[in-house]
Amino acid sequence: MKDIEATFVKDQRTSMNGGYYSYKITNTGESLIEADTYELVLRVNGKKISFDKDTRQLKPGQSIVYKTGKTIYQKKNENLDYVLEIDFQDDNPANNTLKGTTVF
């Protein structure tokens, strides 16, 4: 069984009140997932801020944390809605997307 799960998305602040994201994926299946066979996209308020296509191998039970390279700055009183998507043909596509809101 092959299965990658979008485990969490976490926002972190910079010293200038900007923010960036880290996100974790986990191989919850029983098979090795080869490098470069899946892609990750993180969108904030509908805009793609991170795209990882040079992805690493995942052993069963292994997790990897990725970070965005782009800093986001909040507009006045704006919440940031994020969506992490894993593009991979696995046995449980229901856990390939994780949605949430960042409140500054």
Question: What is the CATH architecture of 4-102?
Answer: Sandwich (2.60)
What is the number of alpha carbons within 13 Å of residue 86 lying toward its C-beta? 30
Could you tell me the pTM of the whole model? Answer: 0.90
Q: What is the residue-level pLDDT of the chain in tens, covering all 104 positions?
A: 999 999 999 998 888 878 899 999 999 999 999 999 999 999 999 999 999 999 999 999 999 999 998 888 877 777 889 999 999 999 999 999 999 998 76
For the residues of 36-80, what is the DSSP string, one character each?
TS-EEEEEETTEEEEEE-SPPPB-TT-EEEEE-SS-B-PPTT--E
The H or E element containing residue 5 is strand 4-13
